């Protein structure tokens, strides 16, 4: 059975790592019908009027599955963020990052195998932000002071947004995802002692959702305690569910435990259930300074492809790829610069060379 799969190469190192992942996935035994669309800076360079053309959004919505390379958002916001636009246009409300220590990969613990799910449309990432000195910020300061609060008139303000509906669908998704993957415990990450209105609501909704799932356990932990727990005893954790900012930070911390962010795959989900729109992507950014140097680690993108294969029901092909990546890392002859001792890059190989080593490992095992 052939599977249609949208490919967004992205920019920066995106085209290199997606090309590497595509070679590996094509060798997996799954029949994939790739449909490539340019977005971001490459789309503009090709003459598109916007960094996220409408036909690309339509194609992903129709197909339901996409593999996305990293996309650069200029610091000066001269080009609108494609990442944010995709999230809004496709209602990608949940992000899941899989953090697992692979055989042969560097890391601080051997038993790391957890998933971090974050709600992706609310919290301080909701985009409700007012610059210092703006009329809206001053009006908000007046509103707060009139009710006994403290907010300097020249303060820049970003609102932390948590709605019962937003928290509920994030936890319902996480519970569905946990049951699908054989996970048994959801841990809500929060700072409810300081933010009882927002984080307290998040935990309350999570407890209510899991109460209706007899196969799942529920607990909660403050985000600062969770950061320490991740460093000290990550093997005790199963699936974390967090508001957007906490989840983003903790996922990067988790990446450092398993060889770096270049080892962490991820997926963004939209729609009302696990089978809705799914956009698979590596957890790392576009690293523009590394672009075109055949240096980037493609493992996170390859493993994002593994998640896509499992989503498509191609479990045997997914396992074949995952085992091949582990075999290459264990052999130790092919490592990108970030996986070398001390990150010196001595004896390292390039993006394409690593990918071809994985392809050969797949072929040798067939």
Q: What is the CA radius of gyration of the chain?
A: 21
176 is known as an active-site residue: no
Annotated catalytic residue: which of 23, 160, 191, 238? 191
Annotated catalytic residue: which of 91, 208, 238, 252? 252
Residues 6+ apart with CB under 8 A from 158: 124, 128, 129, 130
The packing angle between helices 315-331 and 299-311, to 10°, is 160
Residues 6+ apart with CB under 8 A from 172: 209
Phi, psi for residue 282 in degrees, rounded to 5: -70, 155
Annotated catalytic residue: which of 68, 248, 337, 338? 248
CA 230 remoteness from chain centre: 18
Q: Do 87 and 120 contact (CB within 8 A), yes or no?
A: yes
User: CA separation (Å) from 265 to 69, 150, 168, 255, 307?
Assistant: 11, 42, 24, 10, 8
The full DSSP string for 87-140 is: HHHTTEEEEEEEEE--TT---S-S--EEEEEEE-SSBGGG--EE-TT-HHHHHH
Residue 290 is classified by DSSP as G
CA 257 remoteness from chain centre: 16
Closest CA to 189 of 245, 231, 233, 268: 245
217 is known as an active-site residue: no
Q: Which residue blocks in 130-196 are alpha helix, DSSP H? A: 135-146, 164-181
Residue 92 is classified by DSSP as E
224 is known as an active-site residue: yes
219 is known as an active-site residue: no
11 is known as an active-site residue: no
Q: Quote the CA–CA distance of 288 and 70 in Å, as a whole number.
A: 10
Q: For the beta carbon of residue 238, count every other beta carbon within 10 angstroms.
A: 17
Residue 256 is classified by DSSP as H
Annotated catalytic residue: which of 123, 125, 130, 338? 125
Residues serving a catalytic function are: 125, 191, 224, 248, 252
């Amino acid at each position: 059975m052939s599977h249609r799969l949208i490919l967004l190469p992205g920019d920066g190192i995106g085209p290199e790592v997606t090309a590497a992942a595509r070679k590996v996935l094509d060798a997996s035994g799954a029949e994939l019908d790739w449909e490539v669309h340019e977005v971001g800076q490459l789309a503009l360079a090709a003459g598109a009027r916007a960094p996220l053309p409408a036909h690309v959004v339509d194609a992903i919505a129709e197909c339901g599955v996409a593999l996305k390379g990293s996309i650069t958002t200029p610091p000066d916001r001269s080009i609108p963020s494609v990442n944010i636009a995709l999230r809004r246009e496709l209602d990608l409300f949940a992000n899941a990052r899989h953090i697992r220590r692979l055989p042969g990969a560097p890391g601080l613990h051997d038993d790391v195998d957890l998933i971090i799910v974050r709600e992706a449309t609310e919290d301080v990432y909701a985009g409700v932000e007012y610059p210092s000195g703006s009329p809206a910020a001053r009006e908000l300061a007046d509103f707060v002071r009139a009710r006994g609060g403290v907010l300097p008139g020249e303060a820049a303000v970003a609102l932390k947004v948590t709605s019962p509906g937003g928290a509920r669908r994030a936890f319902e998704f996480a519970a569905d995802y946990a049951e699908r993957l054989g996970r048994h415990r959801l841990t809500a990450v929060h700072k409810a002692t300081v933010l009882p209105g927002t984080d307290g609501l998040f935990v309350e909704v999570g407890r209510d959702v899991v109460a209706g799932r007899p196969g799942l356990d529920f607990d909660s932990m403050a985000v600062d305690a969770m950061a320490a727990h991740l460093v000290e005893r990550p093997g005790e954790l199963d699936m974390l569910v967090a508001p957007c900012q906490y989840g983003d930070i903790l996922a990067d911390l988790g990446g450092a435990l398993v060889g770096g962010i270049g080892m962490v795959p991820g997926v963004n989900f939209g729609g009302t259930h696990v089978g809705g729109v799914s956009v698979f992507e590596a957890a790392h950014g576009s690293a523009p300074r590394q672009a075109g140097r055949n240096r980037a680690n493609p493992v996170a993108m390859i493993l994002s492809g593994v998640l896509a294969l499992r989503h498509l029901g191609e479990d045997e092909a997914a396992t074949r790829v995952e085992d091949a990546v582990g075999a290459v890392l264990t052999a130790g002859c092919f490592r990108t610069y970030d996986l070398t001792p001390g990150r010196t890059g001595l004896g390292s190989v390039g993006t394409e060379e690593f990918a071809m080593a994985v392809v050969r490992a797949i072929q040798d095992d067939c």
